């Protein structure tokens, strides 16, 4: 079973600065096997490559958007998987499982061959949890010390919508967040679904996603 490990490193620059230059992976000698390095709350986090079922969920989400596009050539949204998202305002760097952008942004960023997108480029981010790092994708746990998560980072950066697919068997389901409060780094819950039920994302997306094959990870 994959587990998250925490270590202490002396870096030649801040994790965020090295991440934006594409140097952090090489410095940490990360293997080219799907392992991801992100900067969350100013600290670098290394996550193992996802399992097959994880990728299948992303394929199902992408298929939902592509079906909407095929049905209507004017459909304005495009999806991209595992692209760098530079949250420059808060000094974090994430690799969302999927982002949804306008077709104009998609065309422009492809033509420019950019290394990273920025929050203003993105309308929706999608994260699918893994057993090794699910806590990074969720709402922060409030206590004596609240550590930032990607959930709070996306909100602080003003990403309009966040779709969280949680595969934890204790809480499996899908949640759509929106209405980011940048000052408080929080979202409102806009919709919740159980695995097996179709997920209908409202306007501006107006897309239906099948979750029939989605299951929680093995305990």
- Model pLDDT for residues 56-72, shown as the tens digit of each residue: 999 999 999 999 999 99
| Fold exhibited by the domain 52-209 | tt1808, chain A (3.90.1570)
Q: What percent of the chain is predicted at pLDDT more than 90?
A: 83
The per-residue pLDDT for 145 is 57
Q: Model pTM?
A: 0.93
d(CA 38, CA 158): 19
| Least confident residue range of 7-11, 88-92, 125-129, 205-209 | 7-11
Cβ–Cβ under 8 Å, residues 218 and 131: no
The mean per-residue pLDDT over the stretch 141-147 comes to 68
Cβ–Cβ under 8 Å, residues 181 and 160: no
Question: pLDDT digits over 153-163, tens only?
Answer: 999 999 999 99
């Amino acid at each position: 079973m994959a587990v998250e490990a925490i270590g202490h490193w002396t870096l030649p620059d801040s994790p965020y600065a090295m991440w934006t230059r594409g140097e952090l992976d090489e410095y940490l000698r990360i293997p080219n096997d799907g392992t991801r390095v992100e900067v969350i709350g100013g600290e670098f986090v290394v996550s193992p490559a996802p399992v097959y079922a994880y990728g299948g969920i992303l394929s199902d989400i992408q298929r939902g958007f592509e079906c909407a596009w095929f049905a209507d050539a004017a459909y304005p949204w495009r999806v991209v998987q595992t692209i760098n998202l530079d949250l420059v305002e808060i000094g974090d760097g994430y690799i969302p499982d999927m982002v949804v952008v306008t077709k104009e942004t998609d065309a422009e960023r492809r033509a420019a061959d950019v290394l990273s997108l920025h929050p203003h480029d993105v309308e929706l981010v999608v994260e699918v949890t893994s057993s090794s790092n699910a806590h990074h994708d969720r709402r922060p746990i409030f206590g004596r010390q609240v550590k930032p998560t990607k959930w709070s980072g996306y909100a602080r950066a003003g990403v309009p919508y966040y779709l969280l697919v949680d595969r934890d068997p204790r809480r499996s389901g899908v949640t759509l967040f929106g209405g980011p409060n940048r000052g408080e780094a929080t979202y409102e819950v806009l919709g919740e679904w159980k695995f097996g039920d179709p997920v209908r994302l409202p306007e501006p997306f107006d897309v239906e996603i099948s979750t029939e094959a989605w299951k929680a990870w093995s305990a």
